[in-house]
């Protein structure tokens, strides 16, 4: 995994991308965010281990680290070896991570996650069906201990179960405090449970959580309100992917839906909004035409706006020059470049990504990517 060759290294452009920034009461060393990145290297019990400590500590120069998605309950799990934030052992594992990141001067929030229907009985306690707003079968497969398996038709959550989901988020937010995180991000993107409730392709309910935009946004807002009982508002954020179809998600009219959702988040004065622009991990312009101007969300939301998806150094600098976003999130580049901030600052070459080691495995492709300069 050697660095790509470059004939010269040029100094960073004069940009406040590399300058300190205050996200509410949280001071950040720069405006570069490490995006949440599933790596599937948790220990038995879905506990973050010593390798995870090393991995995040190596990347502590990011202005803000958003942890890999962490399930709020056993029911919220959809992938093997992903960490949780619901058991004492998981809290202890994450505490070692946050202490190490803080010792390096970094800041870190945890992404709270429930996958909903994007799971399989093999990953659920007792082999039960995954849950969702409605019994709509997702297209695709998941990787279980037995290999690739098609996703199944989920069980629709009963009305009486939804307060328990909200309580799981509240408890996870409390656990995040105990683990030493600087805040939390609510994962409401990429076709997972809260996104499933938002979208009319997956939410066919006829109760107070289905039908109208206001009803479909209700669970997300109840979760936010519960988390705000635990954390100061400037330490809470939400991730949305308004025009991404990943995990077989879609909506017939996303602009009024996500405009309403962001307006409600703005009323609650939460600390940050994290928007996946375009298809998650793919094209910034979706495959089908869309007149949804995502910059509208930036105008609606008064606090820190994080832009995400396929950003290069040049795009990030331009986004700051035009004030189109406050912070810029980088994903895969942070996997293969633990010192990405310094590489961007110098316009230095980036290490090539070893795709074969993205999910699962050991230190190879996880903590052994080289730095620009050897570390003692």
366 in catalytic set: no
Smallest Cα–Cα separation from 84: which of 72, 96, 100, 93? 72
Pairing state between β 26-28 and 21-23: antiparallel
Residue 239 bridge partners (DSSP): 187, 274
CA dist 185 and 361 (Å) reads: 26
Sign of torsion over alpha carbons 99, 100, 106, 111: negative
Residue written as token pair 């995870």:
52
Close Cβ partners of 158 (under 8 Å, ≥ 6 residues apart): none
Q: How far apart are the first and last CA of the chain?
A: 20
Phi, psi for 161 (deg, rounded to 5): -85, -20
Chain-centre distance for alpha carbon 152: 24
**One of 79, 192, 260, 311 is an active-site residue; which one?**
192
CA dist 303 and 309 (Å) reads: 20
Count the Cβ atoms, other than its own, within 10 Å of residue 137: 13
CA dist 46 and 68 (Å) reads: 12
Q: 3-state DSSP call for residue 275?
A: strand
Smallest Cα–Cα separation from 231: which of 274, 289, 271? 271
Structure tokens belonging to residue 44: 């038995």
Which region holds residue 97: left if phi is over 0, alpha if psi is between -120 and 50, else beta? alpha
Count the Cβ atoms, other than its own, within 10 Å of residue 375: 9
Which secondary structure element, helix H or strand E, spans residue 308, and what is its range?
Answer: strand 304-308
Active site residues: 192
């Amino acid at each position: 995994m050697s660095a790509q060759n470059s004939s010269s290294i040029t100094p960073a452009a004069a940009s406040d991308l590399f300058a300190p920034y205050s996200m509410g009461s949280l001071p950040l060393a720069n405006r570069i965010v490490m995006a949440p990145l599933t790596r599937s290297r948790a220990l038995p019990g879905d506990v973050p281990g010593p390798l995870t400590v090393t991995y995040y500590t190596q990347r502590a120069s990011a202005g803000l680290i958003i942890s890999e998605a962490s399930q709020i309950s056993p029911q919220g799990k959809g992938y093997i070896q992903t960490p949780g934030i619901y058991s004492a052992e998981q809290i202890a594992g994450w505490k070692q991570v946050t202490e190490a990141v803080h010792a390096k001067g970094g800041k870190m929030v945890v992404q709270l996650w429930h996958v909903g229907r994007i799971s399989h009985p093999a990953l659920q306690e007792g082999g039960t069906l995954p849950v969702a707003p409605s019994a709509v079968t997702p297209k695709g497969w998941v990787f279980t201990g037995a290999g690739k398996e098609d996703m199944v038709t989920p069980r629709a959550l009963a009305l009486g179960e939804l307060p328990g989901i909200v309580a799981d988020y509240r408890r996870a937010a409390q656990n995040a405090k105990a683990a030493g995180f600087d805040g939390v991000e609510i994962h409401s993107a990429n076709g997972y449970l809260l996104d499933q409730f938002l979208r009319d392709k997956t939410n066919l309910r006829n109760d107070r959580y289905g039908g109208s935009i206001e009803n479909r946004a209700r669970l997300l807002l109840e979760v936010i309100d519960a988390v705000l009982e635990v954390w100061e508002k400037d330490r809470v954020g939400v991730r949305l992917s308004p025009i991404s179809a990943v995990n077989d998600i879609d909506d017939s009219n996303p602009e009024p839906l996500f405009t309403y959702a962001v307006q409600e988040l703005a009323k609650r004065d939460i600390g940050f909004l994290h928007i996946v622009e375009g298809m998650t991990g793919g094209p910034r312009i979706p495959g089908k035409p869309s007149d949804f101007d995502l910059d509208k969300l930036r105008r609606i939301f008064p606090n820190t706006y994080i832009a995400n998806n396929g950003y290069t150094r040049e795009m990030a600098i331009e986004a700051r020059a035009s004030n189109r976003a406050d912070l810029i999130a980088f994903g895969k580049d942070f996997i293969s470049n633990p010192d990405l901030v310094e590489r961007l600052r110098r316009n230095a070459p980036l290490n090539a990504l070893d795709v074969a080691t993205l999910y699962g495995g050991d230190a190879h492709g996880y903590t052994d990517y080289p730095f620009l300069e050897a570390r003692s």
